[in-house]
Structure formats: C-alpha cells, structure tokens
Amino acid sequence: MYSRQIDGQIITLVPSGWTYESTFVLYDRETGSLWYPFDDGLMSIQGFYFKHRLPKISSEDTRWKDWVEKHPDSKILK
C-alpha cells in the first residue's frame, strides 16, 4: 500500500494497462504520470512527477473474519 499524497494534493492511482518486468505500472489521473513499485515505494518513471516517490504505508493482509474481531465497528461500503 502506498501514500497517494504528493505536493499537498491527493492523486488517484489506477492501472495503466502496461507491465514492466511482469509488474503492473500505475498512472495517476491528475497528471498522467506513470508509477512503478520499488522496495521503498512507488517512483514516477515518466511524466510530471518523474523521479518523485510515494512511500509505502503500513498495511495488513487479513481475512474479514479476523479483521472484524479486532475492529468490531468496521463496515463494508457497497
């Protein structure tokens, strides 16, 4: 999971439809910059944010059953 905040704004990351070395490349809707995952986060490989980075943020892979046991007030958006 990666931060979407850069230069004081929130960007929307979506699949570009391209892959590089068998990994999906993302782009942001606001500038069209292309983003590729590296060990320390996403780096823009083309476009307005070229060579800028979006850091990884902490996340947890879990099952809904386990999540709701820890966070009983959680809700699902439909």
22: left (phi over 0), alpha (psi -120 to 50) or beta: left
3-state secondary structure of 21: coil
Cα(58)–Cα(67) distance, rounded to whole angstroms?
A: 15
Whole-prediction pTM? 0.78
Degrees, nearest 5: CA angle 38-40-41: 65
Q: How many other CB atoms sit within 10 Å of the CB of residue 22? A: 5
Q: What is the pLDDT along the chain (78 residues), one digit of tens a residue?
A: 999 999 999 999 999 999 988 999 999 999 999 999 998 999 999 999 999 999 999 988 999 999 999 999 999 888
